[in-house]
Amino acid sequence: MRRFLFLIIVFYLLALIQSSFLIHFSLSGITPNLILISVCLLSFFSTGAREVNKITGVFPAIAGGFFLDAFSGSFFGLSIAILLIISFFIRKVLGILKEPINPYPAAYFIFLFIFCLIFYDLSLKLSFTFFQSIPLQFSLTSFLTIIGYNLGVAVILFYSFKWLSLKLP
């Protein structure tokens, strides 16, 4: 129960930081998606541990998606569904690989994160186009900025998380 409460508080704080503090550090109006990064990290690092899987499997995607939906103008439940798909995708891909390397190397995380970020961004844009008749706009520069900025933050957090997981029992 404490872990659930801790994750709820962490995702709430990440949503607050993302929507209020990080807008001052935006590149062309783009800020890093801390909740998406956190869900990807938790899904990536919890794949090998059975005990942690129950808590860090579905719950972070639901909690993170809830706060993304609450703090954004998207349809309620859309971010929850997308993050659940992303979480299951990461766990399925890592389950298929089943390499003895634990934790998996950073190259796996980078590849999976880029794929998940593209999926998340395109899913949001397509849902706005389909449900609100907003024309689909694509700019290669902004798309590369989204990938670069989020990937930079994700790699920093990946190595921080990896370092913490080695230091803590």
Domain positions in the chain are 2-167
pTM, rounded to two decimals: 0.85
pLDDT of residue 104: 65
Q: What are the CA-CA distances from residue 25 to residues 17, 18, 19, 141 (Å)? A: 11, 10, 11, 18
Residue 30, phi then psi, degrees to nearest 5: -110, 130
Residue 27, phi then psi, degrees to nearest 5: -110, 110
Binning pLDDT at 50, 70 and 90, where does residue 102 land? low
Greatest distance between any 2 Cα atoms in the chain? 51
Residue 51, pLDDT above cutoff 50:
no
Higher pLDDT, 45 or 41: 41
pLDDT of residue 169: 60
What string of DSSP letters covers 14-46? HHHIIIIIGGGG-BTTB---HHHHHHHHHHHHT
Residue 4, pLDDT above cutoff 70:
yes
pLDDT of residue 52: 47
Question: Comparing 48-52, 92-96, 138-142, 153-157, which segment has the lowest mean pLDDT?
Answer: 48-52
Q: Exposure string (b/e) for 133-164, b if CB count within 10 Å is 16 or more?
A: eeeeeeeeeeeebbbebbbebbeebbeebbee
pLDDT of residue 155: 93
137: part of which helix (H) or strand (E)? none
pLDDT of residue 141: 81
pLDDT of residue 129: 79
Q: Residue 91, Cα to own-chain centre: how many angstroms?
A: 13
Higher pLDDT, 23 or 117: 117
Residue 111, pLDDT above cutoff 80:
yes
